[in-house]
Structure 1
């Protein structure tokens, strides 16, 4: 089979041979099958606790579950909070997250202010 190719206004003729599709395509090995089992990753606070040797959280502490920024502090020292009351509102990756109290307790100390940056597992509020 002859083909005519024009490059920069100049015409060229070329003779082309068409090979079988099977013979011209390279053979690739099949993809390996996907793993059958799903392995859940450990939460970040568990990893940090394992690395530092510290307890990740206790009943008298409220720690940040993410790296982010404090949007609002809902409590002050001396205030009594009930289980699931919002203590701090954090923003992480343009999403707001409400951090709540795990039990009824009095606020001993607030360690963050609005606008401050926090890291994973950082202590936000202490309870009595």
Structure 2
């Protein structure tokens, strides 16, 4: 016998066999409960080799993802903590910010670009009188 089943708006067709009273179906065994593993957050200035080279003013991608917004341009002055660009990875946005005040020297990506972990995104030059 064929049945049509709708689950959460999705329609599925299934074939069902009607058992005689003599036939016994196997008991239902629930699958094991999923195990929750909390995500580990890495701060943007962790010192990770793939993170950033702050002495050279280089901001690298902390994730593999898609560039969705770049609100800065070469020559633009930025303050510490100011947004340099936004990445999307697995439907989550990651904001890449300036580690210190400075001037944007070069932007290596634009919206729509795919990036990998450790890829250079933006180069900054420290303002006069500030350590790089």
The TM-score, its normalising length taken from structure 1, stands at 0.58
**Per residue, is there more helix in 1 or in 2?**
1
- Structural RMSD (CA): 2.5
Runs of 4+ aligned residues of structure 1 deviating over 6 Å after TM superposition are: none
- The answer to whether 1:58 aligns with 2:53 is yes
Number of residue-to-residue matches in the alignment:
84
- The answer to whether 1:86 aligns with 2:83 is yes
Give the corresponding residue for 2:96: 99
Give the corresponding residue for 1:115: 112
Q: Is the 8 A contact 2:51 2:62 kept in 1?
A: no
Unpaired segments ≥5 residues, structure 2: 1-20, 24-39, 126-132
The TM-score, its normalising length taken from structure 2, stands at 0.56
Give the corresponding residue for 1:126: 123
Q: Residue by residue, what CA displacement relative to the aligned partner does 1:58-94 show, whole Å, maximum 9, x if unpaired?
A: 2201111000000000100000000010000110110
SS state at 1:66 partner = coil
